Homo-oligomer: A and B are copies of this chain.
Amino acid sequence: MKKTIFLIHFIAISLFLQAQDLTQYVNSFIGTGGHGHTFPNACMPFGMVQMGPVTNNVGWDWVSGYHYSDSTVMGFSHTRLSGTGIGDLSDWLFMPRIGGFTLNWGSNEKPFPSWRSRFSHTNEAASPGYYSVLLSDTKIKAEFTATEHCAVHRYTFPASDSAHIILAPSVPIGTYVGSSASIPWSSMKWENDSTISGFRISFGWVPFRRVYMVARFSKPFFTYQMTSGGKPGWLVREKEHNFLIGSVYFKTKEQEQISVKVGISAVSLDNARANLQAELADKNFEQVHTLAVAAWNKELNKIQIQADDSTKQTFYTAMYHAFIQPNNIADVDGRYRGADFEIATAKNGKYYSTLSLWDTFRAVHPLYSIIQPKVNADIIQSMITHQKVAGILPIWTLWGAENYCMIGNHAIPVITSAILTDTKGFDYEEAYTAMKATSTVIHRGSDWDILDKYGYLPKGIVGESVSKTLEIAFDDWCVAQVAKKLGKMADYDFFRKRSESYKQLYNHQTGFFQPRDKNGNWTAPFSPIDARYSNGFTEANAWQYRWSVQHDIPSLVALTGGNAKFEAKLDSLFSMSSEVIGGQRDISGLIGQYVHGNEPSHHVAYLYNYANQPAKTQKWLTKIWTEMYSNQPDGYAGNEDCGQMSAWYILTTLGFYPVNPATGIFDMGRPFVKKAKINLENGKTFTITANNLSDKNCYVQKIKLNGKVIKDYKINFCDIVAGGELFFEMGK
């Protein structure tokens, strides 16, 4: 019986995969040009390993280690950040090479190794679970595939008496406040004639980041060296240093392939070994690659669309980018290193990190709530666990540790959304305890004593005072809603009241949120296009933060003076000059003062709905969707930001997006594909049909949910996951 079910299941999956190989539409070079900061590496959905090329490791456009404009490669390493504005990771750089036994690195600070090779994009290929490149200078072909915790390297060498593979643990990626991440200590050990193990610790975007590594080579070395401070050490069995390079040597025949299986772990060498054993012991390169493709197809098929190839490429690459992170940093045995850098065991076997929450609370987690509910619940469980150790919920966690990047405490809306939509998978009381602690215990970026004293965050005492006041107000509203749902009415009153603090900063005379000093005076000079941090905003100006009241748009409309004035203000936003004072690199993809390249604007086009002007929402969405995305290397208007740019695109393509991402309510835009099918984890399907859609018929005439007309331009999470059909009648 069981066998039969398995067989049927297998056939079903096989047929499905044959029918829908969506990985063919993923172009993992999208975002590697411009300022997208993505990478073309081989990886698994939510995996710890992202294996691929490093073309450079310093500079803002190299925080992912790769930029499409480059033509040389310094090596291949195992981990990455996707789309971020700050760099780290790139653990355990390997490089195959022939000829010569002398390595010249340069210095730890300015690594321009002599072993760099040129390459050409015409000899490069990348797809989900696979990356390959031909190194022009040495004629070595390098190919990579990955499991969750491991990589398989396959190098095809020319004939050589001194073919070698370099191992360089000491190459950080990092631009943290202008200085490189530091790897002050690494060690390597020759375990036997085909195994090297090692350890490295780095202090970059987060401190104390440990990566243990075991590498098993398919062919025994004939010699090896470990080098520190520039001095070669032949046959050194074990070495540790702040600048360490090893290399293992082989005699190769023409077109001889040498493969390396590499397991990593944040926990221990034994765990790196166990990860390797569990995921790679009995598999070769092709088998691993096939499994990776299947895993990606499973995720990509969660939404099937009818569209032309270029839209499919943009869409499925967005899906791909949305699932590269968060990363499960727990090993196969469920152990991980937490916020205190100590070893712990994950409750559900998974521990998710790389939580870029200031970005991803907006659209990534709402998207996950629909198509990745299990992952989303496990992420929330990881957040709650983090709070028990760190005292506060994650702000921006990397490799389990907090880096305090950006503002607010936006794990709160993610958890709020899950509780308000009755999501299972974590304890609500535990979650609320964590939310309340985060919102009451003074911590970096959250000066509750000052907020409670003044009723807003005054300029001169707190930096980025306006942005912080606004975003904290939103978080407070979230805490209030959960308090209410759990019957904690005193807490509800406290946080509901504090959630209105943003009103203190609204200057009725100018129509903007503006900084006030501790005496309540509006600080001068003030310009709504001034984006210098000293003006009180975070990576933005007053025009861009004018809309950051996601929890109470009706009040924002009222503050503005009613629907007409609100509409006019939105019109100005989109049509005015794009001049920004103190222009910051994160402010990109401008339409007027609307900034699609950064997150505070992401919900703004949908706000016309709230002034009863849905057609204008649709108009601007058409422009943004068309102009700010493409299937080219510079296909994102700014940093991809851990899935947020992609999640905006995915949801907007389907026709809805959450202005307030904490409620489970999605606001209607317009669909960009004729048909889309969401395959839900509960086995149900939700289909979206856009009748009469064309380039010209880009306005919504009527919306029906399961045959019933929607008039308020909203759809609820519950209606989506219940399965059903959303019907758009399109017209001019």
Contact = CB atoms under 8 A, between A and B. Distances in A.
A178 interface: yes
A201 B184 CA distance: 10
A708 interface: no
Interface in A150-200: 176-179, 182, 184-185
Interface stretch (A123-131, A235-243, A511-519): A235-243
A182 B180 CA distance: 13
Contact of A207 (B178, B184, B207): B184
A207 B108 contact: no
A177 B229 contact: yes
A178 B229 contact: yes
Interface in A203-248: 203, 207-208, 228-231, 235, 238, 240-243
- Of A208, A228, A242, A444, most buried by chain B (CB within 10 Å of CB) is A242
Contacts of A203: 184-185, 201, 242
Nearest to A233: B463
A137 interface: no
A179 B444 contact: no
A242 B109 contact: no
Nearest to A177: B229
Nearest to A174: B242
Counting every copy of the chain, the complex holds 2
B238 A444 contact: yes
A6 to B, nearest CB: 48
A184 B207 CA distance: 8
- Of A108, A179, A184, most buried by chain B (CB within 10 Å of CB) is A184
Interface string A85-109: 0000000000000000000000011
Contacts of A202: 184
Contacts of A240: 207
Contacts of A182: 182, 184, 242
B243 A179 contact: yes
Nearest to A178: B229
A562 to B, nearest CB: 41
Given A185-B207, A203-B184, A179 B108 contact: yes
A630 B109 CA distance: 43
Nearest to A461: B235
Given A109-B109, A184-B207, A208-B185, A179 B238 contact: no
Interface in A258-300: none
A176 B109 CA distance: 16
Contact of A229 (B179, B185, B228, B229): B179
Contact of A177 (B177, B178, B228): B228
Interface string A107-139: 011000000000000000000000000000000
A277 to B, nearest CB: 25
A243 B203 CA distance: 11
A235 B461 CA distance: 8
B238 A177 contact: no
Contacts of A241: 177
Contacts of A229: 177-179
Contacts of A177: 228-229, 231, 241
A109 B182 CA distance: 12
A56 B431 CA distance: 53
A494 to B, nearest CB: 24
A58 to B, nearest CB: 14
Contacts of A108: 179
Contacts of A242: 176, 179, 182, 203
A177 B109 CA distance: 16
Contacts of A179: 108, 229, 242-243
A182 B185 CA distance: 9
A448 to B, nearest CB: 13
A544 B212 CA distance: 43
A132 B235 CA distance: 51
A418 B21 CA distance: 76
Nearest to A444: B238
B178 A230 contact: yes
Nearest to A460: B235
A178 B179 CA distance: 21
A112 to B, nearest CB: 16
A159 B534 CA distance: 33
A203 B183 CA distance: 9
Given A177-B229, A179-B242, 20 more contacts: A108-B179, A109-B109, A176-B242, A177-B241, A178-B229, A178-B230, A179-B243, A182-B182, A182-B184, A182-B242, A184-B184, A184-B202, A184-B203, A184-B207, A185-B203, A185-B207, A185-B208, A201-B203, A201-B207, A203-B242
17 contacts: A108-B179, A176-B242, A177-B231, A177-B241, A179-B229, A179-B242, A179-B243, A182-B182, A182-B184, A182-B242, A184-B202, A184-B207, A185-B207, A201-B203, A201-B207, A203-B242, A238-B444
